[in-house]
Amino acid sequence: MKQRIYMDHTAGMPVDPSVIEAMLPYYTEKYGNPSSLHSWGNEARKALEDSRAKIVDLIGAKKPEEIFFTSGGTESNNTAIKGVTKRNKDRGNHIVTTSIEHMSIINPCKSLMKQGFEVTFVPVDRYGVVDLQALENAITDKTTLVSVAYANGEIGTIQPIKEISEIIHHKGASFHVDAVAACGQIPINVQTESIDLMSVSSNDMYGPRGVGALYVRTGTRIEPITQGGGQERGLRSGTENIPAIVGMGKAAEIAKAEMKNESERLVELRDRLVKGVLNSVPASFLNGHPTKRLPNNANLRFSYIEGESLILSLDKQGIACSSGSACTSKTLEPSHVLLAIGLKHEDAHGSLLFTLGRRNTQEDVDYVVMALPDIVKRLRAISPLTPKEMLQ
Amino acid sequence: MYTDKVLDHFRNPRNVGEIPDADGVGTVGNPVCGDLMSIYIKVKDNRIEDIKFKTFGCGAAIATSSMITELAKGKTLDEAMKISRGDVASSLDGLPPIKMHCSNLAADGLHAAIQDYLKKKGAQK
């Protein structure tokens, strides 16, 4: 039988079967609305608060009231960026973020720029680590919010969050962290790391899609970005998606319990994959930081060829991954993250992103390492950029 | 996303390579944009006797390069000049809309190769 190997977990993850089991009763039996006063309402309300407690537990929040459920990472990021800056308009109109943030940070910032806000995009070094001096210099007395992702979902680089929060709080701005890629994989503690707001997503930790959360430290000035019935203490109106929230809570509980063992296992697989490919494919490179990177992330670059053609070829062998190539995006531009770490356009086009998951095994990694050299060789033989000596 | 024909030409591209003593070479695209294509032609009695390509690019870029070599082989130069981007796309049973502009360069590459041949021929006279 043909092998099928999924290494595209950043794009989508399977939902843990025990998560689905936890969710199902809330569709068919316990379908009450948490705002209702009767026993169905009580049941739903209890489920909502149990899940909230599990998120508190995963990220080290102080109180359950600091967790607000949303529809996912994008909504959490939009709420943080727009909600904090608009609420603090009287104090300033400046946002500081980085050049490698997710589109759900960059595009709300761009939208605010059209409304008179100013945004500074701080550069990163060649590994994707934020330039701390540039960050410090960018913050002015008009800066109300600084937003930096905990780890980059594309190149895997983990930021020195504690150092960043010290710089920011010294200057008096609020600190938002997009932890969608990192949360559930590596330990995060919003209290010890002095994070004011943090976005997390359910599917990125084996929970259902369409649900996420925003942590907002008590005392942080923020306003809602949508208006309605006042659920989630007025910050996020709309009837709570109880089954999904229950699923996210369960997923958070499992992620916390398994984090240590699973991250050690993934780091081993990741390094085996990186080493195996770099050793067997000439002119191949690792994008992102060699050690300060997410356990599941291997972003590799192959000179002289293009990522989409690599993905199509790997797919034929049953291997699924992503690419930073323009040809796999909706914009025709290569990944802004790869350009920000200083890659040339043609090198950014030739990058592949493997993101490992719970079901991946050492056999999977070895299969990829075995399949990749021939695929690269074939595409290089077609490419006019390949040096002649490489083809001999 | 891609038709079976596109995938077939991507996986089994026809006429890959260079022609060392080509009569005309056309290079179009830019590695910055993610697509770069070189088309080599050999011309005899005003017909394209042989044609080969080399392409850096996505699946569509490689498939259209392969298809243009099949469409152009044996054609007179006049006939080959009339092969359009649309002809290439429809011979592949269509391309995704986003690929119609960026990766459908093969007809341009062929025309550039023919123009290169005509220019060289003119210079010889």
Sheet harboring A212-216: ordered strands across? Answer: A67-70, A212-216, A197-201, A174-178, A143-149, A94-98, A118-122
CATH number at residue B93: 3.90.1010.10
Question: Is the distance from CB of A125 to CB of A152 less than 8 angstroms?
Answer: no
Alpha helices in A214-361 (DSSP H): 242-280, 307-316, 336-340, 345-349
Nearest to A384 among B13, B33, B36 (CB): B36
- What is the distance between the alpha carbons of residues A273 and A280, in angstroms, rounded to a whole number? 11
Q: How far apart are the first and last CA of chain A?
A: 34
Query: Which of B1, B58, B69 to probe the A interface (max A CBs under 10 A)?
Result: B58
What region does A304 belong to: left with phi over 0, alpha with psi -120 to 50, or beta? Answer: left
CA distance to partner chain A, nearest, from residue B56 (Å): 5
Task: Calculate helix-pair angle for A362-382, A242-280, nearest 10 degrees.
Answer: 60
Is B54–A382 a contact, with Cβ atoms under 8 angstroms apart? yes
Do the Cβ atoms of A263 and A182 come closer than 8 Å? no
Contact list in A for residue B103 (CB cut-off 8 A) is 327
Query: For residue range B51-95, what is the model confidence (pLDDT) as tens digits?
Result: 999 999 999 999 999 999 999 999 999 999 999 999 999 999 999
Answer yes or no: do B32 and A384 touch at CB < 8 A: no
Using the structure block, give the residue that is written with the tokens 């930073």: A324
Chain A positions touching B99 (Cβ under 8 A) are 327
Q: Cβ of A344: how many Cβ atoms within 10 Å?
A: 14
Query: What is the number of structural domains in chain B?
Result: 1
Superfamily designation of domain A5-12+259-391? Aspartate Aminotransferase, domain 1 (3.90.1150.10)
pLDDT higher than threshold 60 for residue A78: yes
- The one-character DSSP state at A217 is -
Task: Let me know: does A322 contact A311? Beta carbons within 8 Å.
Answer: yes
Please, what is the average pLDDT of chain A? 95
**Domain membership flag for residue B36:** yes
> What mean pLDDT is predicted for residues A59-65?
98
Within a domain: residue B125? no
Scanning the structure block, which residue is given the tokens 């330990």? A187
| Residue B98: band (very low, low, confident or very high) from pLDDT cuts 50, 70, 90 | confident
Q: B31 to chain A: nearest residue by CA?
A: A346
Report the gap between the CA of A100 and the closest CA in chain B (Å): 20
B16–A312 C-beta distance less than 8 A: no
Within a domain: residue B30?
Answer: yes
Tokens (6 digits) for A223? 């306003």
Q: Which domain holds residue B96?
A: 4-120
**DSSP string for A374-389:** HHHHHHHHH-TTS-HH
Answer whether A345 sits within 8 Å of B55, measured CB to CB: no
Residue type, A95: I
Q: Chain B residues within 8 A (CB-CB) of chain A?
A: 2, 7, 10-11, 13, 16, 27, 31-38, 54-62, 98-99, 102-103
Q: What is the 3-state secondary structure (H, E, C) of chain B?
A: CCCHHHHHHHHCCCCECCCCCCCEEEEEEEHHHCEEEEEEEEEECCEEEEEEEEEECCHHHHHHHHHHHHHHCCCEHHHHHCCCHHHHHHHCCCCCHHHHHHCCCHHHHHHHHHHHHHHHHHHHC
pLDDT band at B101 (very low <50, low <70, confident <90, very high): confident
pLDDT of residue A206: 97
**Contact indicator for A232, A68 with CB cutoff of 8 Å:** yes
**CA nearest to A349 within chain B:** B34
For B116, residues 6+ apart whose C-beta sits below 8 A from its C-beta are B24, B25, B26
Q: A-chain residues within 8 Å CB-CB of B8?
A: none
Strand partners, B56: B36
Chain A residue at shortest CA distance from B53: A382
Distance from the Cα of B21 to chain A's closest Cα (Å) equals 16
One-letter amino acid at A56 equals V
A306 touches chain B (CB under 8 A): yes
Q: At residue A216, what are phi and psi to the nearest 5 degrees?
A: -130, 110
ipTM surpassing 0.85, yes or no?
yes
Q: How far is A298 from chain B (nearest CA, A)?
A: 21
**pLDDT per residue over A244-287, tens digit each?**
999 999 999 999 999 999 999 999 999 999 999 999 999 999 99
For the domain made up of A17-255, the CATH class stated in words is: alpha beta
* Residue A327 DSSP symbol: G
Note whether A304 contacts B10, CB cutoff 8 Å. no
| Domain spans in chain A, listed from the N-terminal domain onward | 5-12+259-391, 17-255
